[in-house]
Structure formats: structure tokens, C-alpha cells
Structure 1
Amino acid sequence: MALDVFTDLNKVRNIGIMAHIDAGKTTTTERILFYTGINHKIGETHDGASTMDWMAQEQERGITITSAATTCFWKDNQINIIDTPGHVDFTVEVERSLRVLDGAVAVFDGKEGVEPQSETVWRQADKYDVPRICFVNKMDKMGADFYFTVQTIIDRLGARPLVVQLPIGAESDFLGVVDLLEMKAYVWPGDAKGDVTMGSSYEVQDIPADLVEKAEQYRAELVEAVAEASEELMEKYLEEGELTIPEIKAGIRQLVISGEAFPVLCGSAFKNRGVQPMLDAVIEYLPSPLDVPDVVGSNPSNEEEKLTRKASAEEPFAALAFKVAAHPFYGQLTYTRVYSGTAAQGQQVLNSTKGKKERIGKLFQMHSNKENPVEEITAGHIYAAIGLKDTTTGDTLCDPAHPIVLESMTFPDPVIFVAIEPKTKGDQEKMSTAIQKLSAEDPTFTVSLNEETGQTEIGGMGELHLDIIVDRMKREFKVEANVGKPQ
């Protein structure tokens, strides 16, 4: 089964889950992992047990700080998911994830609609032309309003939503969704607390009588919007006034991949309702590595010369290191998105950004913070490697015989600084190791010497960002330090 996925890139989706803090992004990811069979027990964020939030600080604070990458399977397709943080201090994580994704699921809070950080993340996704589907979550929450949320997607994001589902009920009476393509109701049985089967089974029923008229109206609008995707669809629609389900799906897919429109689905991840149809939509509408434009780079010896690489194992190897993370046993894990070609354990590759040769140590496919070893890495997938000593975020790794430098990522400058002093001489050494490792992981974390005071200053994207860094120095590197007030 897995081998098929390596050769058939049509069956691969590299996606991010993006949202405002507290829209339920991590819970949604946890549910995806549960339904795709990776997690047998669902990790609840408010229990501090969630799989994707694996750093101690994340589990205590119940927020996602670093993007964990994880791989799962749904109906013979492989989905590589990057969970991105919703907190504004961790913009760098979102920025670097979006750079290596082919598509994303934007999660919205069904009561709040589009919030400020949803806008920030949406604009970042626009910058990298990432196709998206929208999941209106928390439909079980007091005051949840699907139609209001859809309107905020239009008003605040200036985006064109394609409503493909309607909610059945809301708040504590939220039972399921109406599928506007099949014109059927999907109802998750069970009491308000969620049912025994954790929502893994749903019933297909007729649309409730009070929703039939609304469903027909929304379906007509959907078909009309889809007809505009191509001339053929428009001709057929004008002649027959209707399109078949496969035609509607193909039209939606076309509009999504071109970035013209965004399907909107709804559910309650916490109450286990609506997650499986959302996974179906990821497969149906989001692009595979073959659907996105070939990656562009330049020749390291002549920057003017543009080079491209197709998403194919036959092409020369090219990959982008999009995240470096300190690992308790292996020293350093380098997360890479492979755009073309293949590379094996022990192979020598060129870091064309720095002009240095690197040897790949072990290779893994990641499941949150567990590593599954693999012998070889291939185009279209996301992996972690160890043994890359000089590679930092944004560097290109490639075949030494066919050098290419891929476009890197742009990171904002720090906005807040604090003075930091080690308590003892022993702490001094530990602190310099910690700073070196943590700044390799996070390009928005900087260190400088304040010439006037002679103190070491660390800079970051906000107070929470620097709190977490100081906390990690203590926990992971055992550094005791005095920290000044933010400047």
C-alpha cells in the first residue's frame, strides 16, 4: 500500500492546518490522526495529551508552538500534515510551513468567524499561492453561526467561498451536515457528549424537511459557480441546467487549484462530527505534488539562470530544509520537503545555499515526535534527516552533479528584546550551546551584544516567544539565567 503512494504522486497530499489560536486546529488534526488509524486514543488538547503538541511547553499551555510533521493514510491516499501554530508570536513557523505545502485546511471558529490571526495566516498562504479548503469548526459551541462565518470569509478575507455543506442544527443540537453534491444528510448518532464509537460511523439520511429548500438554493448557487470553471462545463450547464457530481467535483478542484475559490465545510472536531467528509475534501479538492507548478530555482554559479525541477523521482535530487529541530538523542533533525529526485541514507548531497557537501545520516518519516526510519526519500514527500551539520532553515539540498538553489523563505526581524545573564560560569557554556541550537531552529530568534551595557540580548517576535525560548533553555539545556524586562 505505501509503495504505491511513493510511485503514484496523485495519491499524495502535503497539507497544513492553519487557523487563529483556539479555533480548534490541533483538535482537528488529532481527529484526522484518529480516523486515519494512527491514534487509537484521541489526545485532547485540554488534557495536555495531544500528539502534535509534543513539546512540554505546548502541552502545558495548550497551544501549538512548532510545526510538527506527520504522515497518515486515508482511503489509499497518503496525507502529510504540518500542524502550524495559531499564535501571532510564531509567525515564522507558519511562514516556513506554507512554503513547502501544496494545500491547506483553514480552520475557523464557527462563532467568531474570521479573526485577526486568521487574516494574517490567510495572507501568508496567498503569498505562496497555497490552495485551501475551509473548515468551520466548533459548530457545537454556543452562538455558533455557519452563515455568519461564511460571510466573514467574503468580507474580511475578500475570498470567494464555495459552500459545499450546510450544518444540520447548531450549538448543542448540531447533528451533522448536508452534502450539497450528493444532496444527502450525514448524521453522527450519539448523545451531545459524543458517542461510543467516537464519531467513527455516520448515517446517510434524507435531508431534514426544514432544510430541503435551503439546500436546493445553495446547491443551485454552487453549480452555477462551478460552471464558470471551464468553457465545457459552462456549455453543458447552459444546455442542461445541471452538472453531474463528477463534473461538479472536477470543477471545484479546478477552482481550488487555481486559487479562485475555497470550498467551505463544517463540523465539530471536538464532538467528532464532520471530520471524515473534510478528509474526503482534502483528497478530492486539494492538489497533489503533480498539480502544483514545477519548483523554480537558480544556478548557484549564475543567479540569473533560472532552473526548474518536476515532481518526479527521475529528475535530479532537490529538496528544501524548512525546519531544524533539536532532538534529545540525534542532536538535530532537519525537516525537508523533497521536490524532485531521490536520495538514500549515507548519500552525499550538496547544500547549494552554503556551497558545502553534506552526508545524510538516518532518514525518517515523522509522526509528530516519533520517527519511522526509511531507507530512501523521494520526490513529493516530507521527511526528517539527521547528520546534516551545516544545514539551516531555508537551505537547499541537491544532487552535487546538478546544483540548484531553490527560493528560500523570508523571515521578519525581531520586535522585542530582553537581556539575559547566566547565573554561573557553568551556565555560561550551556547557554552558548543552547543559543546556538535554538537560533539554528528559529530564524526569528536572534542574539546580540548590547554595546552600551555589555549584556547579551535575545530578540524575538513577542513576549510569549521569548518566554518559551527561556523556558526551553532551562528544560532542555539546564541553563539557569537571569532575564531582564522586555525592551
Structure 2
Amino acid sequence: MVAIRFCRIAIFLCAFAPNRFPTHRPAMAADISKIRNIGIIAHIDAGKTTVTERMLYLSGAKHRVGRVDHGTTDTDDDPEEQERGITIFSACVKYAWGDYNVNLLDTPGHVDFTAEVERCLRVLDGAVVVFSAREGVEAQSETVWRQADRYEVPRIVFINKMDREGASFETVFNDIGPRLGGRPVAVELPVGEGPAHVDNPFRGVIDLVDMKLLQFDPETEGKQVTETDLPDELADDAAIWREQMLEAVYEISEDAMSLAMEDKEVPRDVILAALRKGCLDRTIQPVFCGSALHGIGVQPLMTGVGNFLPSPLDRPAVEGHDPKKPDKTLSRNPDPKEPFCGLVFKILPAKTGDNYWIRIYSGELKQNSRVQCPNRDKKENVAQIWQIHATKKDRDGQVDSVGAGDICCVIGPRFAITGDTVCDTKELIELPSIKFAETVLSMAIEPESTADRKKLEETLDMLRRQDPTFRAVDNEEIGQTIISGMGELHLEVIQHRLTRDFGLNVKFYKPRVNYRETIGGSAELVGQCNRVVGSTQMFARLKVKISPTDNPSDPVIVFDRLPPDVGLPNAVRSAAIDEIRDRAEGGGMIAGFPLSGVRIDVMDAEMAEEGSDEVAFRIAAGDAFESGLQAAGPVLLEPVMRVEVTTPEDYMGEIVGDLQQRRAIIASTESRGAMTVITAHAPLKEMFGYSGAVRSLSQGRAGSSMEPYGYQAAPKEDADSFQY
């Protein structure tokens, strides 16, 4: 009887479930207009992976919801991720929702792994930005938002964790504009806020487009949605928020404005079309809310992905250049009939052949074909094509071909690296690569025995292919390898992988800061070569002006300002300029750290009738470079971090005092509910172990996050500690 009764209830619920929250359908043949390539981006612990898991479950792509705290999620499948409860590596999953086929990339939230976000946003068409309703807009939220701005990625917003203590939809909503430069437009409103024990707990959402109350059945973990008319006690508040939404719609849609001026109701399809247009134009960001952990509000979010985020057809044609004629701009439309073109955005090394993740921008990629990698000037084999599930090939996902607008895994290439283009062998194009931030922290390592040395070299080479922000350079003088990464956690993860995953016996030394060098002033001088080699008198003089740029983080720039009548042959002229550029790449005068923030103008030259060849001018250029750096005053630069600490006010004094002892400059303090947020700029050297220190100062109640902020002059004693 119980079973029969349960079945009747299930049939009743299914019969009345609104069809705009569709059940799972198997993926059909690819219709580019129905493809959605999206990323989930957010600050750490905002709930990205939980949102992803819930989407997979609700779409039918998996039959049980994974939990981050249980280590059972599909996308956090690495032991390090499961142990720490955070996302470290971006993962790709596919699901179908209604008519849409979605490629979803779950990305890390920790700043040390921001390169994973960078490479994903480079190839995505849209993004879902997740905020915690309790913590709101946090430091890494700003970072990922700026990254999305840089790649002009349209986005929608999901305010998660509405069932948590201290949750505030309105506070987060109101922060998005001033802190991120966005324009949020609420399309949903929470019913209540906070956990079950508060007076007005979170228990559903109001759909502001249809003015309906949506409630999500906990017995089916959010699969069954009940839609009812708004009760009177919710109607007035909902009407105010709906009017705000319609104001945005009127600005976007002339049809909606005309109807409003005639006091006519704006139809649902007109509202949705206007919101979609505003989202695609990046003038607004539709805002949803819910609790991914309990499946509340995730189905409308999934429908919002299809309604508001772009298909590949909605994005501009990709542009690149002709590898044989770099000044010639080429473009490719998302059309399977155009020549094939794609971008390698991730490589996962494997014994059976590295897995190359590729975004297809145009044409069609077929199995057992040949493509060109113009960056390496090499032809590549495409032996196999797979769909991707998490960080692995989908077990049942091998396919014969993949068309424009899709994302796939390819086995066969050997030469391409992350950011390289692959294209038709007869229709070459080279797309812009992916730029990653410079490493800020290094650590010396060495194998315990000579037997481990070769295996260590092979493993480090594999890790370099996988992670473009990881560096490993051999120092033959001390017999060690210097590995570099984006922060303490990044290096710690590398350390664990070397010892645990690859079974290497390796010694690890203390991390050290990656300094840079620049100059403190300007200088103008002449470098020269005046020496006898054998029976030949070599002669060259080169006048240069060296000066600092406005930003000490800028790369070194060299300008050829030689007057037309100077009379230098082109080969000699190029040799002098190339020598200065080569010297600049070799580092500064203090300790050979990378040089930055320097401008060098080559102003004049003098040559003799004999002996003024390329070698002579290279010597003169080297002399001018070294003398110029010394005369301009070498300056050691240390990396500075932007630190954000969220703490109860009771501990604010101790935390500010500790930051000041670490040479931090307090940039701002602000109240967010019961918490105080301190933003400071602090030297990285002083911030080792800070996350543990701030927890100790606050009895575990404060949290912190850091991201690179820039460079500043290091203390004199730090510069003096290095040998000139």
C-alpha cells in the first residue's frame, strides 16, 4: 500500500510539474544554436562544485548527488581535491537540459589556481558567477569577474547558500554594481533567508517573470517543482522587484517600452528576449538564487543558462593572423562548412597518449586526420576524439567527429602546448594564445638519489605540460631544481603529487619569493667596443637612453630610434637591438632576477670603415646595457599581495596590528553584516603561513584570501643580501 501510495504521489507531482523545468533528454545531433559552453566561476567555497553536481543530477547525467565533504563529486576526482575539499583542476562535464546540450567547466576558486579559470574563460561563451549569500562579493569574486570582463564573456549570477545563517540576498545583489562594475537584474527573489530554525527561513523562490512561487520537493532532492500563485504576504515585495526588472527591460526593448507607455502587460516572451539581449550585450546580468546543496533554485538556473547565455553563434567570429603573413588578419565563423580551426586550452598527460582539450571554433575535426599547429610549424595526428567527463575521457564517449562550437578531447598530438592553435593544413590561421600570470614563489628540490633524477625530470616535464603556471629549471651549480608556482598551496600540491602520486624520493627546501629588478632613475650614455682581436681593430659605439616605465610590472621595451642617416647596415643594426633584448631577458644587475618596468631607447651609433661588424656592435650594445642599468640605479622589487580578511569585529584590532607588523598597508575596512572586511596590501615575503595565523588570532572565526597585486621596492637589507 505504501509503495502504491508513493507511486500515485509521484505521478501527481510529475503531471503538474511545469514543463519549463524539463526532464533529461539524450543529447541529439549537434545544433550549434542549442550548444552552451559555460563555466562556473566564483570565490573559493561559494559552492561551484555543488552547483555543478546538482546540475548533473537534475539533468539525469548522474543518478546520485555527489558531496564535496564526502569526496564523491564527479568533477573533484583528484585525491588532493577530495582530501582538501576544494577544486584544484578545471573539469569538463556534459549534460542535456531540454533542447540544450551544455558543456560545463567547473573551475577552482583559490587564487593559486587562477590559471585554470583563465584558460577556461578563454574558450567559453558564457559563465555562471556563484556568490555565497553569507560571504557575498569576495576577493576572488572580483578576480574572476575581471577575467570574464577581459574575455568579454556574458554571465548570469547565482546567489547560493540562501539557507545559511546570515544569508542576505539584497546585500550581495547591491554589492555587485559598486564592487564589480556589473548591473545585476533580479529575475528571482528568495522566499525567506537562513536555516530552518530562524523566524523566516529560506523555503523557495519567486519567479519575477511569471510572478509565481516555486517550491522544491526535498524528498526528490529538488527534482519536483511546485508552481503556485503568490500568496498576498509576498506579492507586494515581489511587485517592487519585478518593476525594477521591467525598468531594465524597457531600456533594452523598444517593444516593451511601447507596451508600457500604453499601459499594456509586457508578454513573457518579450521580457525573456530583452533579458537575453542585455545579457549577450553584457549590459546586465540576470540574477538567480537558491541553495545548491538542497536543490532549491537550481532548475530555474539551468533553464536560465539556455534562455540567457550565448550559443557559439551568438559570439563574434574568432580572429587570428596568417602565420606566413603576420600582418594579415583572418577570421573564422562558427560554421561546420568553414575550414577547421580550434584552440588547445588544456593538456592532461597520460601514458597512452596526452589528452588534448580543444575548443572547436570552425569547421569539423575528424578522427584519423591530420591538422596543422602553426605555433610550432608542425603537423599533428588526430588519432582519437573523445567526449570529456570530469578530468577523464568519457568511457563511452569516443566519437568519429566534432563540429564547430563544441569541446572535445583529442589523442594523438605531440608538439602543441596550451594556448596553441590547431587548424586545417591548407587554410592556416593562428589564434591569440592564452596569457598566464607570472609565478611569485619558488622552492628548491633535489632527488634523494641519482636513480630518482631521471624519473624526476620526466615527471616535472609532464607537470609543465599540464600546468602552464608551473616552472622547473635546473640549477647545475648547486645540483638542485628550482620549481616555481603561484603560491604556497600551489607548491604544496606539487610537492604532494611528486611524493604521493609519483612515488619520488625528493628533498624539499623552504619556499622563497620570486623577486624582480627594475631601475630607480634615468640615464643616457654610450656603450662601446674598442678592442683588437688578432690583427683586426674592432670598433663600435652605441648611444642609449634607459628610463623606468610608469608601471614596474611592465615588460622591458626596446625602441630603435637610430636616425636614418646613421649608415648602419640592417644586419648590424638588428644585431645591436637583439643583443639589448637578449640581455634584458637575462635579468637585472642585483641577482639576475627578471627585469621589468624598463624602457630602452637606442638613440645613435658610430662606426668605422673597417671592424664595425655585428660582433662589435653586440659588444657595444652589451656594454651600453650593463652601464645603463648601473647608472640608472638598480632596484629590487618584491611581489605584493592584495589581502582580504573577513573577521568578527572583536578581533579586528589584533588582526590589523598583525598585518602592520607584516609591513602591510591597510587599504580599507568595511562592515558586511556582523563581519568586518579588512583589505590590505602586503609583501608576499611576510605572508607565509598567514591563513593559519589569522585563524589563531581569531579563534578560528576569521578567514583570509590573497591575490597578486603588483610589485614594490624591497627593503634595502633585502637587496643588500644578494651578491652584485
With the length of structure 1 as denominator, give the TM-score of the two structures.
0.96
Change (3 A) 1:160 1:53: same
User: Cα offset for 1:2?
Assistant: 6.3
Distance, in Å, in 2 between the alignment partners of 1:208 and 1:240 is 25
State the alpha-carbon separation in 2 of the partners of residues 335 and 240 from structure 1. 52
Cα displacement (A) at 1:55: 1.1
Residue of structure 1 equivalent to 2:597:
none
- Opposite residue 302 of structure 1, the aligned amino acid is K
Give 2:293's aligned residue: 270
3-state SS in 1 of match to 2:116: helix
Please state how far the C-alpha of 1:56 moved relative to its aligned partner: 1.1
CA contact (8 A) 2:393 2:409 kept: no
Aligned to 2:371, which of 338, 349, 357? 349
What SS class does the counterpart of residue 312 from structure 2 fall into?
coil
The aligned residue for residue 199 of structure 1 is 222
CA distance in 2, matches of 1:208, 1:432: 67
Whether 1:97 aligns to 2:125 is: no
Q: Which runs of 5+ in 1 are unaligned?
A: 190-194
* Residue of structure 1 equivalent to 2:383: 361
Q: Deviations over 1:314-339 (max 9, x none)?
A: 00000000000123x53311100000
Separation in structure 2 between the aligned mates of residue 200 and residue 232 of structure 1, nearest angstrom: 35
2:447 is aligned to 422
Q: State yes or no: 1:151 paired with 2:151.
A: no
**Structure 1 counterpart SS, 2:313:** coil
Query: Does the 8 A contact of 1:223 with 1:242 survive in 2?
Result: no
Task: Give the one of 80, 84, 89 matched to 1:61.
Answer: 84
Counterpart contact for 2:50–2:293, Cα < 8 Å: yes
Aligned match of 2:356 in 334, 358, 363? Answer: 334
Higher RCO (C-alpha 8 Å, min separation 6): 1
8 A Cα contact 2:372 2:425, kept in partner:
yes
Deviations 1:277-307 (A, max 9, x none): 0000000000000001011111001111111
SS at match of 2:236: helix
* Partner in structure 1 of residue 428 of structure 2: 403
Q: Residue 5 of structure 1 contacts residue 78 of structure 1 at CA under 8 Å; is this kept in 2?
A: no
Distance of 1:234 and 1:70 partners within structure 2 = 40
1:87 equivalent in alignment to 2:103: no
SS in 1 for 2:294: coil
Shift of 1:452: 6.0
CA distance in 2, matches of 1:280, 1:184: 16
In the alignment, does 2:464 pair up with 1:444? no
TM-superposed deviation, 1:184: 0.2
> Does structure 1 conserve the Cα–Cα contact (< 8 Å) formed by 2:27 and 2:101?
no
Distance in 1 (alpha carbons) for counterparts of 2:316 and 2:61: 31
Q: Secondary structure at the match of 1:243?
A: coil
Moved more, 114-123 or 425-434: 425-434
Unaligned 5+ segments in structure 2 are 1-24, 196-200, 513-724
Of all paired residues, the percent bearing the same amino acid is: 45
Q: 1:463 aligns with which of 461, 479, 488?
A: 488
The one of 382, 385, 393 equivalent to 2:407 is 382
Check conservation: 2:386, 2:393, Cα contact below 8 A.
Answer: no
Aligned to 1:478: 503
1:18 paired to 2:49 = no
TM-score by length of 2: 0.65
Aligned AA (2:113):
F
Residue 187 (structure 1) aligned with residue 212 (structure 2): no
Aligned length: 480
* Counterpart-to-counterpart distance in 2, 1:180 and 1:399: 48
Pair 1:27 & 2:43 matched: no
Shift of 1:469: 1.4
Shift of 1:5: 4.1
State which drifts further: 460-469 or 227-236.
227-236
Residue 73 of structure 2: SS of its match in structure 1? coil
Query: Could you tell me which amino acid in structure 2 is paired with residue 349 of structure 1?
Result: V
Q: Secondary structure at the match of 1:405?
A: coil
Q: How does 1:319-330 map to 2 (within 5 A)?
A: 319-327=342-350, 329-330=351-352
Distance in 1 (alpha carbons) for counterparts of 2:231 and 2:129: 28
For 2:354, what is the secondary structure of its paired residue?
Answer: strand
Q: Provide the residue aligned with 2:75 in structure 1.
A: 52
- Take 1:382 and 1:393, find their aligned partners in 2: how far apart are those partners? 15
Aligned to 1:214: 237
Larger Rg: 2
Instruction: Judge conservation of contact 1:18–1:86 (CA < 8 Å) in 2.
Output: yes
Q: Is the partner of 2:252 in helix, strand or coil?
A: coil
User: What is the RMSD of the two structures over their aligned residues, measured on CA atoms?
Assistant: 1.4
Alpha-carbon distance, 1:243 to partner: 1.6
* Equivalent of residue 307 in structure 2, options 284, 291, 294: 284
Answer yes or no: is the 8 Å Cα contact 1:5–1:77 preserved in 2: no
Per-residue Cα deviation, 1:178-218 (whole angstroms, up to 9, x for no partner): 000010000123xxxxx221111011012232221011111
Question: More deviation in 453-462 or 350-359?
Answer: 453-462
2:154 is matched by which residue type in structure 1? Answer: P
> Contact 2:208–2:238 at 8 Å: present in 1 too?
yes
